[in-house]
Structure 1
Amino acid sequence: MGFRWMSTTGFLSGLLLVLGCQAATVLPGTLKTPGKVPPFAPRSLYTTIDEFGQPQFQVDGRKLFRDRPLPPHRISTVPIKLLQVLRSTRQYFQDFSETDPITQREGILGIQGVTLPQVLDTLDFMIATLTEDISRKRPIRLQDPAFINQHFRVIQWLPHNPRNPNQTEELRLTNYAVFTHRGSHTPTQTYNTALYALPPRVSNQPEDRFYQQLTKQQVLAGIFEPGGALHGRVQPLAYLTRAAFEDALMQGTILVEFTDGSRAFFNVDRNNGLPFVKGVSPYEQQRYWYFRQVAAIKGYGSTIENKINIEPEVTFAGDVWNIGLGRVVVIEDRRGKPPQLRLGVIADTGGAFAPNLYQLDFLAGIFRDRPTYQAVARQLPNYVRAYILIKKPVKSRNQ
């Protein structure tokens, strides 16, 4: 696992400028993929972007995907949870299509002819199918690979990993979790590291970005605590152990059980604008996240107020900038016989995905302790084949 969480507000203005495939420096090396690949042509180039909308590198989009039917094995999913996440994701597209450029990005799948209306049609069809099957208490058709192959274009996603050119067939699958930790409403000798909330945004007024001038280490040194230079500028939400605090930063959401018997979810809200530096210990990072109390586990969203409600076992975090938000994915675990298929949706993102064309992060569950989580995580594959599902158009009777 890695740090997944990042700001989704600071990049919006820059992202408006790079909704297409602009030129950038081409990454050295070529992508190795099995099978016959059409001749290289400039129009197949796709320019990846980071969380701030800045061009990163170019890839030949035709080499990362190929049409291929699902193998004939039953698909695992949790229908009720999947339906909830699909509905929440679809609602996000409806409510924020004019304010969040992510909802307008076709991403690299556009080179494969995938359009935004097709993505939305896929979500709508899956929601309608699941709703009908669940309400009528009949077998879930989305778990039948024959039904999927009949009604969906199945596109195998081949990884592009600049650091591992030998990764040509299977995506890296990591996993994340929500942990339950003990905490206190006030600082104690044991619970001495705070989760802080920034002041609420005020409509039609510029935001005071004082927090972007502070590093994680300055905050942890006590700048917001009594006697600190900025005491009173933020609200302490909970006091945790340092290990629990780092878990909250790592996973993005935490369930705190307070010493007085109350409990609450907290989710990342805004950060200080500093990048997460790969290879640096989490304890030494300069990026710092502020939190907000929430009613459920939250995934992607341009602000804390509009984040998608997500559920374990059916949610993937991925590269929403380049692969795309709301893309429905089937992963294939080929370790055993027969292979195992699992259905979910990309409804979350994080620091490891800006950009990242070779990895997904699976939301494994809510756990009371790390050993319980690790026991579940050990059962999950490290590498999987991945397939993106796009609803086929309905043929007219004359076709």
Structure 2
Amino acid sequence: MRYLICLFTSVLLFTFQVNSYEFVLEKLPSINKLGDFKASDLCQVTENTKLYIQEVTSDKFAVHPGTVFNNKISIQNVEQTLAFICTTYREDVRAKRQSRLHDIAFVKENFNFFRWLPDTQTAQLIANKSTNEVKSRLLNSIPKDKIFLTKYYTKLLDASTVKTTKYNQALYALPTDEVGLSLEQAENQKQQLIRYRYTRQDIMAGALSTNTAVKPLIWLSEEALHDVLLQGTGVVNVGGKVRYFNVHRNNGIAYDYALGKREQARYWYFIEVPSIMGYGQKQEDKIALKSQVTFAGNVKQLGLGKLFMVSYDRNNENISRIGVLADQGGAFDDNLFQLDMLVDSYKGWSDYHQANKHLPDYAKAWLILLK
């Protein structure tokens, strides 16, 4: 096994470069303090992600070593990197010592670090098309040596089991005309299926209100529906009980990065789930997530399960943290300038901002792979 790892290491000592972005090997990455994450949670998400990679090999969209890396790394190297996280964590628990995943010397000794220099050209092209001034400013301001580090959260919502004046927007389940169909089968029959017929605006205006083939799971306020469609997951208080809802399948309309959330035509149908879930081609295979150790990003090009370290200044102290690419979203199509970090669950913007105002918009980032 050690021989195989050495072989992998030997092919990793180079720069990945395509167009205006790069992943550049840094032998001495700047790490001052490893923090802001729990080793136990990182282990859990890496293990869940590794299991998906090993069991859902048919998912060619996500289960690959990364199309941007020019076949210079293997899926086995990705799996070994993920496995090493839990091996280390569990050895430390058994030895009753502090996790070595927070030990700078240990991390530097065991991983190769590839500095991510972002695709600012694409970011600026999107910024020039955007109608959102804040988004345009943030995209135009991405430094050449830092990625755009956004934060996402699961929405803490209140809802009703019946329609009311306040809770007047349905969170719809997948229409019954699609039950039992795979994604491929549904795509081949899209002209006949309800899911593909309507935009978000159509549905919110009542296009499905009398259609018995579409079941409301719960009822939300209009603002809450926009939020959960954007975030992808709702942590919902329904009559005093906490329930979880996750995106299932959408109406086939692409997310438009240049538009605000209310202008998006993409609409998601939801499903009730046991916890916060991330990437998965099928609902039953989705990866269970933990906050602070999960990144959403460009799974299609980077490949599921990549381990990233990001560094930033917080209260005059430089912090580095590790997380795994285990989620995605429409905003990441052709996007090699951004990671989105799952932070926690909040009622709204003010709660989120108060808890995360110390986190920056941009951060140094490295792809890390086991030596």
Range into which the TM-score falls when normalised by the shorter chain:
0.7 to 0.9
Aligned pair 1:371/2:350, yes or no?
Answer: yes
Aligned pair 1:171/2:157, yes or no?
Answer: no
Aligned to 1:257: 237
Aligned to 1:324: 303
CA distance in 2 between partners of 1:286 and 1:233 (Å)? 21
Q: Is the 8 A contact 1:68 1:156 kept in 2?
A: no
Q: Displacement of 1:389 after TM fit? A: 1.1
CA distance in 2 between partners of 1:266 and 1:120 (Å)? 29
Q: Is the 8 A contact 1:70 1:145 kept in 2?
A: no
Aligned pair 1:280/2:259, yes or no?
Answer: yes
Q: Is the 8 A contact 1:66 1:157 kept in 2?
A: no
Instruction: Describe how 1:119-158 pairs up with structure 2 within 5 A.
Output: 119-158=78-117
Instruction: Write the deviation string for residues 23-70 of structure 1: whole angstroms up to 9, x where unpaired.
Output: xxxxxxxxxxxxxx99xxxxx774xxxxxxxxxxxx266x44232333
Q: Is the 8 A contact 2:314 2:358 kept in 1?
A: no
Gaps of 5+ in 1: 1-36, 39-43, 47-58, 393-399
CA distance in 1 between partners of 2:222 and 2:157 (Å)? 11
Cα distance change of structure 1 residues 281 and 334 upon mapping to structure 2, 3 Å threshold: closer
Aligned to 1:49: none
Q: Is the 8 A contact 2:65 2:78 kept in 1?
A: no
One-letter amino acid of the structure 2 residue matched with residue 83 of structure 1: C
Aligned to 1:66: 25
RMSD: 2.2
2:345 alignment partner, SS class: strand
Instruction: Write the deviation string for residues 113-166 of structure 1: whole angstroms up to 9, x where unpaired.
Output: 322211111011112111221343211111112111111111111111211497
Q: Displacement of 1:382 after TM fit? A: 1.0
Q: Displacement of 1:238 after TM fit? A: 0.7
2:78 alignment partner, SS class: helix
Aligned to 1:396: none
One-letter amino acid of the structure 1 residue matched with residue 160 of structure 2: S
Q: Displacement of 1:358 after TM fit? A: 1.0
Aligned to 2:43: 83
Cα distance change of structure 1 residues 221 and 72 upon mapping to structure 2, 3 Å threshold: closer
Aligned to 1:201: 179
- Picking from 177, 202, 206, the partner of 1:218 is 202
Q: Is the 8 A contact 2:23 2:114 kept in 1?
A: no
CA distance in 2 between partners of 1:119 and 1:340 (Å)? 24
Cα distance change of structure 1 residues 387 and 182 upon mapping to structure 2, 3 Å threshold: same
1:169 alignment partner, SS class: coil
1:118 alignment partner, SS class: helix
CA distance in 1 between partners of 2:201 and 2:357 (Å)? 33
Q: Is the 8 A contact 1:100 1:302 kept in 2?
A: no
One-letter amino acid of the structure 2 residue matched with residue 351 of structure 1: G
2:29 alignment partner, SS class: coil
Q: Displacement of 1:223 after TM fit? A: 2.2
| Worse-superposed segment, 160-169 or 243-252 | 160-169
| Worse-superposed segment, 131-140 or 351-360 | 131-140
Aligned to 1:161: 120
Cα distance change of structure 1 residues 328 and 45 upon mapping to structure 2, 3 Å threshold: closer
Aligned to 1:22: none
Aligned pair 1:235/2:195, yes or no?
Answer: no
What is the TM-score when the length of structure 2 is the normalising length? Answer: 0.83
2:63 alignment partner, SS class: helix
1:104 alignment partner, SS class: coil
CA distance in 2 between partners of 1:276 and 1:248 (Å)? 14
CA distance in 1 between partners of 2:65 and 2:107 (Å)? 25
Q: Is the 8 A contact 2:173 2:270 kept in 1?
A: yes
* Structure that is richer in helix per residue: 2
| Worse-superposed segment, 98-107 or 146-155 | 98-107
Cα distance change of structure 1 residues 78 and 118 upon mapping to structure 2, 3 Å threshold: same
Q: Displacement of 1:290 after TM fit? A: 0.4
Q: Is the 8 A contact 1:330 1:386 kept in 2?
A: yes
Gaps of 5+ in 2: 1-13, 125-139
Cα distance change of structure 1 residues 144 and 325 upon mapping to structure 2, 3 Å threshold: same
One-letter amino acid of the structure 2 residue matched with residue 152 of structure 1: F
Q: Is the 8 A contact 1:86 1:127 kept in 2?
A: yes
Aligned to 2:162: 186
CA distance in 1 between partners of 2:297 and 2:167 (Å)? 33
Kindly tell me the number of residue pairs found equivalent between the two proteins.
332
CA distance in 2 between partners of 1:203 and 1:270 (Å)? 12
2:229 alignment partner, SS class: helix
Cα distance change of structure 1 residues 284 and 60 upon mapping to structure 2, 3 Å threshold: closer
CA distance in 2 between partners of 1:372 and 1:84 (Å)? 26
Aligned to 2:277: 298
One-letter amino acid of the structure 2 residue matched with residue 277 of structure 1: D
Q: Displacement of 1:72 after TM fit? A: 4.3
Identity of aligned residues (%): 32
Cα distance change of structure 1 residues 216 and 166 upon mapping to structure 2, 3 Å threshold: closer
Instruction: Write the deviation string for residues 333-359 of structure 1: whole angstroms up to 9, x where unpaired.
Output: 046544111111111111221111111
CA distance in 1 between partners of 2:334 and 2:244 (Å)? 28
One-letter amino acid of the structure 2 residue matched with residue 362 of structure 1: M
One-letter amino acid of the structure 1 residue matched with residue 230 of structure 2: M
Instruction: Write the deviation string for residues 192-250 of structure 1: whole angstroms up to 9, x where unpaired.
Output: 00100113631689446321121112211212223xxxx11111101000111111011
One-letter amino acid of the structure 2 residue matched with residue 349 of structure 1: Q
Instruction: Write the deviation string for residues 81-106 of structure 1: whole angstroms up to 9, x where unpaired.
Output: 11110111011001101244420243
Cα distance change of structure 1 residues 136 and 235 upon mapping to structure 2, 3 Å threshold: farther
One-letter amino acid of the structure 1 residue matched with residue 148 of structure 2: R
Aligned pair 1:384/2:344, yes or no?
Answer: no
Cα distance change of structure 1 residues 65 and 136 upon mapping to structure 2, 3 Å threshold: same
